[in-house]
Amino acid sequence: MAANHILFDQGVVDAFGHVSVRHDNRPDRFFLARNMAPGRVTRDDLVEFTLDGEAVNAKGRKVYLERFIHSEIFKARPDVQAVIHSHSHSIVPLSVVKGAHLRPLFHMAGFIGLRAPVFEIREVAGEATDLLISNNDIGAALARHFSSSDIVLMRGHGSTVVGDSIKRAVYRAVYAELNARYQLQAMQLGEVTFLTEGECRACVDKVEGQMQRPWDLWLEKARIRCEAVPG
């Protein structure tokens, strides 16, 4: 619930996007909200799923079409505990321009690595899809891009990030969007100096250890915002 509200407040998700977390007692299950806007998710809206994307306790509630993003990544990456999919505004341009890759340029974004891979759905499902990850086969193809990365862009769609905790995944989703914004701005000024591979590793090791600090701030801010919204 908190992750959904933080991501909405930080402008990473709007009416669309979703957050999942692996079951703490059953690694073959995960939780994902029912089909709804992230900013309105409550604990009662969470649905339990198998790693095939089948709802265990939907009880007639509509579920997300793209639950297979989450199920297939959890299946392929046992180390992953949380998955976030969004259409954050600065990310999308970098998913469609040839030669313009999402690359880390500041110390909060070392998790991107030298550059984020881009998932091209046409290579899997042809040239007439709605670009949604709407079945296991497409989800599995996307998940393969996470074999060497914790963030993958999706051409004309958005991005997905993973983490070994929900706090780390939220941290990465927020700073991936900020890095993309800075990158688009910097590219207009001239040649950009990006982080080296060694700098990426060092930033992940040192900076991400501070993720509790922004989490506490974001959570407080999101709660104030939610309490100010009637109904």
Q: Is 131 domain-assigned?
A: yes
Q: What is the DSSP string of 192-216?
A: --PPPHHHHHHHHHHHGGGTHHHHH
- Domain residues for the domain of 158 are 2-226
pLDDT at 230 > cutoff 80: no
Q: Give the list of residues 6+ apart from residue 26 with CB closer than 8 angstroms, or none.
A: none
Q: Is 81 domain-assigned?
A: yes
Domain count, the chain: 1
The predicted pLDDT at position 231 comes to 47
The predicted pLDDT at position 225 comes to 73
SS (H, E, C) 64-84: CCCHHHHHHHHHHCCCCCEEE
Instruction: Please state whether the predicted TM-score (pTM) of the whole model is above 0.85.
Output: yes
Q: Is 21 domain-assigned?
A: yes
Task: Give the CATH number for residue 169.
Answer: 3.40.225.10
Q: Pseudo-torsion of CA 81, 85, 86, 92, nearest 10°?
A: 120
Catalytic residue among 66, 123, 197, 199: 66
* Nearest C-alpha neighbor of 199 from the set 75, 107, 118, 136: 107
Q: Is pLDDT larger for residue 83 or for residue 226?
A: 83
Task: Respond yes or no: is residue 123 known to be catalytic.
Answer: no
Q: If pLDDT is split at 50, 70 and 90, which confidence band does 224 have? A: confident
Per the prediction, the chain carries an average pLDDT of 96
The predicted pLDDT at position 227 comes to 63
Q: What angle do CA 216, 221, 167 make, to 5 degrees?
A: 35
Q: Give the list of residues 6+ apart from residue 44 with CB closer than 8 angstroms, or none.
A: none
Q: Is 35 domain-assigned?
A: yes
Tens digits of residue pLDDT in 89-109: 999 999 999 999 999 999 999
Q: Is 231 domain-assigned?
A: no
3-state secondary structure of 54: coil
Residue 82 to residue 215: CA distance in whole angstroms: 15
Q: By CB neighbour count within 10 A (0-12 exposed, 13-18 middle, 19+ buried), where does 126 fall?
A: exposed
pLDDT at 55 > cutoff 90: yes
Q: What percent of the chain lies above the pLDDT cut of 70? A: 97
